[in-house]
């Protein structure tokens, strides 16, 4: 018996296929394995009640337990008129979408986007995003992995996770309907991706308005190098602007170590 209303998900979204499992290692991993079948079914969803080996960026893992919302959305950029120049902004656009939803759900909380792929609630991680681009028969597809700490209290999480993360339940004390949350997030992602395709200045402005790092002294790990400086925002290419002793630098990727 699934905790999700799959019929309602089909009815209230534009998804052409929903692949549901009670438990998977990683929804992104499964989406990758299913890509040859999903390429003609975009937008498609891979959904799991429990994810046992979720992945973050690089070698990072994503801890989750029962009650979290974990899914991967497979989209075809060509169908959505999303150009190759705009693709690097997909993860940030999804971050804006999730932030919009959570801001309505927790109006008393401070919801922010942390470049390049996290959503924070009161400066504790509540959502992680992992986007991957793969080609099937030379056709590029994008997998958008989303993990939201929803009904999963973090009192049973490892110490390091409890120190830096939170959940909607831990903050509000209330459980949410995961089906409703999923439908709302998927719809908002569709809106944000459409704004991204249209090169909307509003999306970038909203991103910078709610960027956690703006104006802060941050340390960013890029490969074997570390950069330290004041964050001056995110540009139209999705790069982090860092004012260092050597001038203004733009970082296309990296891990924020300190902020």
1-10, 110-119, 132-141, 190-199, range with the lowest pLDDT: 1-10
Q: What's the pLDDT tens digit per position in 13-30?
A: 999 999 999 999 999 999
Q: What's the pLDDT tens digit per position in 217-229?
A: 999 998 889 999 9
pTM recorded for the entire structure: 0.92
Q: What's the pLDDT tens digit per position in 60-86?
A: 555 667 899 999 999 999 999 999 889
Token output for 84: 């190759």
> Is the per-residue pLDDT at 57 higher than 90?
no
Task: Note whether 195 and 215 are within 8 A (CB).
Answer: no
> Is the per-residue pLDDT at 254 higher than 90?
yes
> Is the per-residue pLDDT at 43 higher than 50?
yes
């Amino acid at each position: 018996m699934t905790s999700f209303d799959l019929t309602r998900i089909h009815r209230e979204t534009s998804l052409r296929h929903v692949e549901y499992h009670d438990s998977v290692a990683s929804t992104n991993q499964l989406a990758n394995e299913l890509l040859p079948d999903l390429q003609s079914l975009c937008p498609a969803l891979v959904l799991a009640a429990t994810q046992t080996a979720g992945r973050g960026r690089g070698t990072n893992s994503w801890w989750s337990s029962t009650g979290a919302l974990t899914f991967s959305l497979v989209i075809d950029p060509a169908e959505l008129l999303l150009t190759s120049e705009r693709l690097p902004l997909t993860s940030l656009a999804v971050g804006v979408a999730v932030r919009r939803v959570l801001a309505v759900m927790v109006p008393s909380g401070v919801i922010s986007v942390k470049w390049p792929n996290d959503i924070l609630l009161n400066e504790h991680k509540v959502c992680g995003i992992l986007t991957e681009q793969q080609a099937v028969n030379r056709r590029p597809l994008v997998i958008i992995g989303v993990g939201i700490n929803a009904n999963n209290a973090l009192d049973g999480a490892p110490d390091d996770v409890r120190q830096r993360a939170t959940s909607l339940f831990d903050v509000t004390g209330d459980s949410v309907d995961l089906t409703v949350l999923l439908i709302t997030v998927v719809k908002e992602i569709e809106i944000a991706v459409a704004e991204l395709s249209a090169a909307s200045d509003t999306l970038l402005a909203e991103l910078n308005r709610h960027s956690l790092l703006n104006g802060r002294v941050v340390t960013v790990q890029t490969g074997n190098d570390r950069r330290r400086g004041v964050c001056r925002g995110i540009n139209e290419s999705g790069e982090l602007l860092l004012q260092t002793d050597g001038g203004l630098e733009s970082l296309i990727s990296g891990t924020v170590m300190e902020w």
